[in-house]
Amino acid sequence: MRILPCGDEALLVEVANLREAEELYGRLRRDPPPGLTDLVPAARTVLIAFDPAVTGPARLQALLHGMSPADVTSPADVTSPADVTSPATVTIPVRYDGPDLVDLARLTGLSPAQIIERHLRGRHRVAFCGFAPGFAYIAGLDPGLRVARRDSPRTRVPAGAVAIADEFSGVYPRASPGGWHLIGRTDLAVFDLTRNPPALLVPGTPVRFVAVGGAAVGGAAVAWA
């Protein structure tokens, strides 16, 4: 663990891998130190923002250094960091009709049917959010499905598009540019400003993808651009 300075109101903690970042985030979220104002996990880091009137870098550093490795790193038999925080599993119904399934088949050496099957089998969980409000980086992608982003991003990906890139799955909360491979779509609103919290996919949430048939589920179909 490296504790990096990040201005006078935050520290950035760098860890070895995504799993350690999830563990550290989960631990600090469950037992927040006094003065915490924001806690932001990412792929290899957790940002700890604080109120300098209440706490300071020295105190937070001492707290972080005092954490035993077992507090932070994941024992081998823990299947998911989400098991500890136990937010309810979010089920995402997906029509697997994405326009990139053919390209992905070429890149992975799998058939589209095998890609879908492996995506359904994954033990997924939200690792962190970013890119846009409510856009969740959902970890747990089958290693056989890991491919880099598309060479040329699309200028417009419709809301509800289900996509994969690197070690993550994602659901576009609203129409935006995007460089991930589109494998399907969902009618589930993953982000809704009238809801509290507005994001359905918060860090630590276990996610289950389920395949649904050709008809739209409970709403209008998303048209592929």
Partner 1 sequence: MTGSGEPPGEIAIVASGPFATVQDLGRPGLAHLGITRSGAVDRPSLLLANRLVGNLAGAAAIEITYGGLIVRFSHPGMIAITGAPCPLTLSDREIGMYAPVDVPAGALLRIGAPARGVRTYLGIRGGVDVPAVLDSRSRDTLAGIGPEPLVAGVRLPLGQEKSDPPTIDLAPLARYVDEPELRVLTGPRADWFAPDAVSTLWANAYEVTADSDRVGVRLRGPAMRRHLTAELPSEAVVAGGIQIPPSGQPVIFLADHPVTGGYPVLGVVVAKDLPLAAQCRPGQRLRFRPARQAVNGLPAR
Question: Interface with partner 1 by CB under 8 A: which residues?
Answer: 4-10, 12, 14, 25, 37-47, 49, 52, 56-58, 61, 128-136, 193, 196-199, 202-203
Q: Tell me how far, at minimum, the Cβ of 141 lies from partner 1, in Å.
A: 16
Q: Tell me how far, at minimum, the Cβ of 90 lies from partner 1, in Å.
A: 14
For 215, the token pair is 């008809």
Say if residues 177 and 132 touch (Cβ distance below 8 Å).
no
Q: Tell me how far, at minimum, the Cβ of 148 lies from partner 1, in Å.
A: 10
Under DSSP, the state recorded for 145 is G
Looking at the Cβ atoms of 8 and 77, the one nearer to partner 1 is 8
Looking at the Cβ atoms of 115 and 136, the one nearer to partner 1 is 136
Q: Tell me how far, at minimum, the Cβ of 158 lies from partner 1, in Å.
A: 16
Looking at the Cβ atoms of 96 and 172, the one nearer to partner 1 is 172
Cis peptide before 197 (omega within 30 of 0): yes
Beta-strand ranges (E) seen in 44-123 are 45-50, 90-94
- Rg value, the chain, Cα: 19
Looking at the Cβ atoms of 38 and 71, the one nearer to partner 1 is 38
Say if residues 168 and 127 touch (Cβ distance below 8 Å).
yes
